[in-house]
C-alpha cells in the first residue's frame, strides 16, 4: 500500500486485497459513512458483488439521502446493476431532476421491498 493510501484513515475499510482481486461484500454501514468517497467505494464494491438481498437494496436506497453527488451517482449505478431498472443519476442535472431521480428510486423500493 502506498503512502497516500496509508494516510487515508478509511482505506482498510474499503480495500480488501491487491488490485484486480475479488472483493468480499463490504459492511453495509459504510454506505452511511460521513466521507463521500467511502460511500462511493462501498457502493462500487457492492456493484461488483452479486448480493441482491433486501438488506443491500435497503442500504443503497437509504444512502441516497446522504450528501455527495458522486456517491449518489455510484449508488444509483449499484441499484441499476442489482435491479435491472434504469434510473441514472446525473450530478450535472438541475436540482429538480436530481430530486426526481432519487424519489423514483425511493418509490420503487417502497413498492418492491419485502412486506
Q: What is the pLDDT of residue 52?
A: 83
Integer Cα distance of 8 and 17 in angstroms: 16
Task: Identify each DSSP E strand in the chain by its residue range.
Answer: none
Domain boundaries, the chain: 26-112
| Contacting residues for 12 by C-beta, under 8 A, at least 6 apart | none
Residue-wise pLDDT for 42-68, tens only, equals 898 888 777 788 988 999 999 999 999
Give this prediction's pTM. Answer: 0.76
Nearest to 66 by CA among 113, 30, 13, 115: 30
Radius of gyration of the chain (CA): 14
Residue 17, sorted as left (phi over 0), alpha (psi -120 to 50) or beta, turns out to be: left
Q: Examine the pLDDT at 107 and tell me if it is beyond 70.
A: yes
Higher pLDDT, 53 or 110: 110
Amino acid at each position: 500500500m502506498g503512502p497516500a493510501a496509508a494516510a487515508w484513515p478509511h482505506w482498510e475499510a474499503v480495500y480488501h486485497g491487491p488490485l484486480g482481486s475479488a472483493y468480499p461484500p463490504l459492511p453495509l454501514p459504510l454506505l452511511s459513512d460521513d466521507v463521500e468517497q467511502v460511500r462511493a467505494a462501498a457502493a462500487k464494491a457492492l456493484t461488483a458483488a452479486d448480493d441482491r438481498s433486501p438488506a443491500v437494496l435497503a442500504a443503497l436506497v437509504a444512502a441516497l439521502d446522504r450528501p455527495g453527488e458522486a456517491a449518489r451517482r455510484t449508488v444509483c449505478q449499484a441499484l441499476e446493476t442489482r435491479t435491472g431498472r434504469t434510473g441514472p443519476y446525473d450530478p450535472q442535472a438541475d436540482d429538480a431532476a436530481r430530486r426526481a431521480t432519487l424519489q423514483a428510486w425511493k418509490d420503487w423500493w417502497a413498492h418492491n421491498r419485502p412486506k
